Structure 1
Amino acid sequence: MHPLSHRITRLLHTSTSFAFSALRPSISTQLPHITHRFRNSAIHLHTANMSSMAARLKGKTILITGASSGIGKSTALEFAKTQPEDLKLILTARRIDTLKEIATEIGKQAPGVKVLPVKLDVSVPEEVSAFVGGLPQEFREVDVLVNNAGLVKGMAQAPDINPADISVMFATNVTGLINMTQAILPIFKTRADGGRGDIINIGSIAGREPYQGGSIYCATKAAVRSFTDALRRELIATRIRIIEIDPGQVETEFSVVRFGGDKAKADKVYEGVEPLTPDDIAEVVVFAAGRRENVVLADTLVFPNHQAAATVMHRKSA
């Protein structure tokens, strides 16, 4: 290298090192402040999002079926937590005592939320009609219907499936959901722009991917999916939002009911995996209901991290 070039290179290196050294204390001093400001911005953004949801849900009346346990119960609690000051919840299920306990729990945590617990069998159309027609005045203007009631019975394969199990699954999972939708839609349709309101149907990955030992349950959830898709098309000229949320594996009473109360058998379903919780799905439901009116989360599939399909799961060895 030419002597002059060598001197210039050394000079540049020295100048750069000096400049960086001079800046280093300033950067070190500023970094905590930058980090603090970033953290505050993130907290502010989260709070703003929560405030937006709370504002959109303010004054609304939410009707949840199958609200005595699992996803239904968690959804009721999540709505109350998101908008604790001005909300009405209608909670239905067959176990009225459990619903009353949930209503008491919500009353303690969110005193601004009014709760109406009602014993209801969604599979009986006359019972559903009487229930909706007899709602107290302050609960009549339903804004959101969460069709959550559903169950599964056994894992028998054709031709050994119990006819009673077939009947109860279709009656609750399909007929019940349709009964509730038909009873609530007229309320929605009295509103401006052809109608306003949300129908949120809790489906399942089983409605997309049938599996062995679940033919009837899968068929019921496939029916829910078809009904939901058709309903969305039929109501396209309105402001009524039709939403389907399909969970993958969730740990609820689902498997206990499937195996006739055999807890040990039910626990084996979740062996070596970390399933979703009812709270996980409840958050998605409330998020969907809390979007701006022009935003429709039409079709949502929710998996735990270990799941890739209905029967594709990674299980950790013991």
Structure 2
Amino acid sequence: MSGNVRAKSTGLLHNGRVSTSKNAAPRTAVVTGASSGIGAATARTLAAAGYHVYCAARRAERVEELAAEIGGTAVVCDVTDAASVAALAERVGGRLDALVNNAGGAFGMRPVAQGDSEEWRRMYDVNVIGLMQVTRALLPALIASGAGAILNVGSTAGRRAYEGGAGYTAAKHGTKVVTETLRLELFDQPVRVMEIAPGMVRTEEFSLVRFDGDAERADAVYAGVAEPLVAQDVADAIGWMLTRPAHVNIDELVIRPRAQAAQHKVHRVG
């Protein structure tokens, strides 16, 4: 989705979808990791649905451009830094309708025997501790909304193991378990807790970052796959999950391209 999308004052239809209303305050959402990929696509999707989106990420220029495009608010935020997260919560204020914990990442693909401790720490820090810090900071505002939603972006890597992926799969298993635990802890609160677990998604940066800028290795991940998922596919699913009626909790949604039957089972041509 592209173009100049402006957030409007909104209410809710009976089925949970956002509708415009002059008398209702705009519904609000925070999307972390909004500077590119799934995060940027999700911010655009939610803005098109009527949310005022707080676009949070480390790269100021990118989130400022995105916020200007969609009529949202740019917040420079490093989810691994407690002070940065506190500043995000202060900017959002006392009420929030939806939180999309999308910030994450994979670094390296070494077998355990050659594991890099710093890479593992970075992955756990952003995929688990960062998620916890943002959720903790924004939870009072989500509860105050009376119908909040937390949607964590996990991965099919959080459900399976594969060679060379132990650090990332361990971190994404952590994302999954934190989501499940939070749902139990908030069972009596007006907050839905959900996870989406994408499989193979071709974005401009994920594999390139994982392989430290090695474009050849990054391209090889998707070689021969005619139609991997793209960021907008995942964003559309996130938008659907968040706009269900407030009593409907989509515990988890696994989304893969048709060509990927399982983590190791991918149809490649050529």
Aligned length: 252
Alignment of 1:115-264 (within 5 A): 115-132=72-89, 134-135=90-91, 140-190=94-144, 196-252=147-203, 253-264=205-216
Q: Deviations over 1:60-117 (max 9, x none)?
A: 110000000000000011112222xxx311011110101111122224xxxxxxx111
8 Å contact kept, 2:98–2:142: no
Q: Deviations over 1:181-208 (max 9, x none)?
A: 111112223455xxx3000000000000
Match of 2:48 among 81, 84, 93: 81
TM-score (norm 2): 0.88
| Alignment correspondent of 2:5 | none
Alignment of 1:20-169 (within 5 A): 53-55=17-19, 59-83=26-50, 87-107=51-71, 115-132=72-89, 134-135=90-91, 140-169=94-123
SS at match of 2:161: coil
State the Cα distance separating 1:228 from its structure 2 match.
0.6
Q: Radius of gyration: which is bigger?
A: 1
Question: In structure 1, what is the Cα distance between the partners aligned to 2:39 and 2:92?
Answer: 22
Gaps of 5+ in 2: 1-12
State the Cα distance separating 1:52 from its structure 2 match.
6.1
Give the letter for the 2:206 counterpart: F
Q: Which moved more, 1:215-224 or 1:162-171?
A: 162-171
8 Å contact kept, 1:203–1:224: yes
Q: Deviations over 1:219-242 (max 9, x none)?
A: 000011111111111111122100
SS at match of 1:218: helix
8 Å contact kept, 1:155–1:258: yes
| Alignment correspondent of 2:222 | 270
Higher percent of residues as helix? 1
Q: 2:250 aligned with 1:282, yes or no? A: no
TM-score (norm 1): 0.75
Question: In structure 2, what is the Cα distance between the partners aligned to 1:80 and 1:188?
Answer: 18
Q: Deviations over 1:133-153 (max 9, x none)?
A: x3165xx42110000000111
Give the letter for the 2:37 counterpart: G
Give the letter for the 1:168 counterpart: R
Q: 2:245 aligned with 1:292, yes or no? A: yes
8 Å contact kept, 1:56–1:290: no
Query: Percent same amino acid at aligned positions?
Result: 38
Give the letter for the 1:91 counterpart: C
8 Å contact kept, 2:29–2:97: yes
- The CA RMSD over aligned residues, in Å, is 1.9
Question: In structure 2, what is the Cα distance between the partners aligned to 1:52 and 1:136?
Answer: 22
Give the letter for the 2:91 counterpart: L
> For residues 52 and 243 of structure 1, do their structure 2 counterparts lie closer, same or farther at Cα, with a shift above 3 Å needed?
closer
Q: Deviations over 1:110-129 (max 9, x none)?
A: xxxxx111111101123212
Give the letter for the 1:54 counterpart: V
SS at match of 2:132: helix
Q: 2:270 aligned with 1:314, yes or no? A: no
